[in-house]
């Protein structure tokens, strides 16, 4: 006789760590593969992709998310690698949007495949998109991403706007000497369009170019450079655990956000946990430990075992990885950003 799987009782705030933080937001990397090779994220060649059978299936992801939702996770963000490379991503989005307790479903993408996938993703229940765009100039875009792909990225943004998926968040990672000359141009976009342009400080996570601390453009400097042209009005954060500090122009449509993990670590309010494409639960981008959920899934483990593993993983969360970022500029981590899920 087949019995229905048992679910742990829904218990809000169960995923509590030693520092009083509660995990509510899950970032799922659905693939480690990517169609760009951003300088700070991937090497130019020779990326050793995970073998296909190591990547979680949609059904396995659904199962982990439903267990985590029963423990209080409310938001899911799909990331990668480039999540849209899993062309049937709308099917996964629909499966996750239907899970009891999941209130928000978002996607972080480089935008190259949005022209065809934005509409089915929105129809499947995706509420928000973060589009990563490091330059508005073809040559600088190519220098930052090692691909000549500015046109499809901009087309992807235009499609989102046409579909009314606003406000659109644009993630810009600045590298001194590569794209920091475009700060005023990005700021102008946030004045004129319904975009939240978020400047993210360069973190020492890359698997490619050895980008040193002098490439980092601190958020405070970016703010000064924008305010030299247009004054900014502080508007706080979207929610306390959101990484971006937001500002608005007195005369603008959109917002400017600063995500400053290096110079202003925001670990104290962190509510994030991560699931890697190969099924490892990580309590922090910089975690030194990970929990092998794939082994539980494929070893016939129960939902209770998945829940127990997640509770233990979160309980072991350190005070905060961003707090040590300066040190990591010298001492790089073995698992890279595209393998964790940014």
Is 277 an interacting residue with respect to ligand SF4 (CB under 6 A)?
no
Residues present in the chain in total: 342
| CA 129 centroid distance within chain | 10
Q: What is the DSSP string of 53-64?
A: GGSPPHHHHHHH
Note whether 79 binds ligand SAM by CB under 6 A. yes
Start-to-end CA span in the chain (Å):
42
Shortest distance, position 293 Cβ to ligand SAM, whole Å: 20
- From the list 186, 199, 249, 338, which residue makes contact with ligand SF4 (rule: CB under 6 A)? 338
Separation CA 131–CA 135 (nearest Å): 12
CA–CA dist 258, 54 (Å, integer): 35
Using CB under 6 A as the binding criterion, the count of chain residues that bind ligand SF4 stands at 12
Give the strand order in the sheet containing 25-29. 232-236, 245-249, 255-259, 195-200, 168-173, 128-132, 104-109, 75-79, 25-29, 272-275, 280-282, 291-292
Residue 22: CB minimum distance to ligand SAM, A: 23
* Per-residue mark of binding to ligand SF4, 69-108 (x: CB under 6 A): -----------xxx--------------------------
**Of 295, 341, 342, nearest to 30 (Cα)?**
341
Burial class (CB in 10 A: 0-12, 13-18, 19+), 78: buried
Q: Which of residues 126-165 bind ligand SF4 (CB under 6 A)?
A: 132
Q: Per CB under 6 A, does 82 bind ligand SAM?
A: yes
Task: Report if residue 31 touches ligand SAM, rule: CB under 6 A.
Answer: no
Nearer to ligand SF4, 111 or 321 (CB): 111
Smallest gap from residue 109 Cβ to ligand SF4 (A): 8
Size of the site for ligand SAM (CB under 6 A): 20
Residue 179 binds ligand SF4 (CB under 6 A) = no
Helices assigned H by DSSP within 71-182: 89-97, 114-124, 138-145, 150-162
Residues 311 and 14: beta-carbon distance below 8 Å: yes
Instruction: Indicate which of ligand SAM, ligand SF4, none lies near residue 325 (CB less than 5 to 8 Å, by partner kind).
Output: none
Closer residue to ligand SAM, CB minimum distance, 89 or 296? 89
Is the Cβ–Cβ distance between 111 and 80 less than 8 Å?
no
Name residues contacting ligand SF4, limited to 30-49 (CB under 6 A).
34, 36-38, 41-42
341: contact with ligand SF4 by CB under 6 A? no
The interface partner of residue 187, options being ligand SAM, ligand SF4, none and the CB cut-off 5 to 8 Å by kind, is none
Which of the choices ligand SF4, ligand SAM, none does residue 37 contact, using the CB cut-off of 5 to 8 A by kind? ligand SF4
CB neighbour class for 316 (10 Å; exposed up to 12, middle 13-18, buried from 19): middle
Residue 205 interacts with ligand SAM (CB under 6 A)? yes
109 touches ligand SAM by CB under 6 A: yes
> Tokens 């090692």 correspond to what residue?
146
Residue nearest to ligand SAM (CB): 342
Structure tokens at 141: 């875009």
Interface ranges with ligand SAM (CB under 6 A): 34, 40-41, 79-80, 82, 108-110, 132, 171, 173, 200, 202-203, 205-206, 337-338, 342
Interface ranges with ligand SF4 (CB under 6 A): 34, 36-38, 41-42, 80-82, 110, 132, 338
């Amino acid at each position: 006789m087949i019995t229905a799987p048992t679910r742990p009782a829904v218990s809000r705030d169960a995923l509590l760590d030693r520092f009083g933080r509660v995990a509510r937001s899950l970032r799922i990397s659905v693939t480690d593969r990517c169609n760009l090779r951003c300088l700070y994220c991937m090497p130019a060649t020779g990326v050793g992709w995970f073998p296909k059978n190591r990547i979680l299936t949609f059904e396995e992801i659904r199962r982990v998310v439903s267990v985590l939702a029963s423990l209080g996770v409310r938001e899911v963000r799909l990331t990668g690698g480039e999540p849209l490379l899993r062309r049937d991503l709308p099917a996964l989005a629909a499966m996750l949007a239907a899970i009891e307790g999941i209130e928000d479903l978002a996607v972080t993408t480089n935008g190259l495949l949005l022209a065809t996938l934005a509409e089915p993703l929105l129809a499947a229940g995706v509420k928000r998109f973060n589009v990563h765009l490091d330059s508005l100039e073809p040559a600088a875009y190519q220098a930052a991403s090692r691909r000549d792909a500015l046109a499809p990225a901009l087309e992807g943004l235009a499609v989102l706007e046409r579909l009314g998926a606003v406000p659109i968040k644009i993630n810009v990672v600045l590298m001194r000497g590569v794209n920091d000359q475009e700060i005023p141009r990005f700021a102008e976009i946030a004045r004129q369009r319904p975009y939240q342009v978020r400047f993210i400080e360069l973190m020492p996570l890359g698997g490619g170019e050895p980008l040193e601390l002098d490439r980092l453009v601190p958020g405070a400097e970016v703010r000064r450079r924008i305010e030299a042209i247009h004054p900014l009005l502080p508007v706080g954060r979207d929610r306390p655990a959101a990484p971006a500090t937001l500002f608005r122009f007195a005369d603008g449509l959109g917002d400017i956000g600063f995500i400053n993990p290096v110079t202003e670590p925001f670990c104290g309010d962190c509510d994030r946990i991560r699931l890697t494409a190969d099924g490892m639960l990580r309590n922090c981008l910089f975690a030194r430990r990970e929990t092998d959920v794939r082994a539980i899934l494929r070893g016939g483990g129960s939902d209770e075992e998945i829940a127990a593993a997640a509770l233990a993983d979160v309980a072991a969360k350190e005070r905060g990885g961003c707090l040590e970022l300066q040190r990591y500029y010298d001492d790089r981590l073995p698992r890279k950003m595209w393998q964790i899920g940014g």
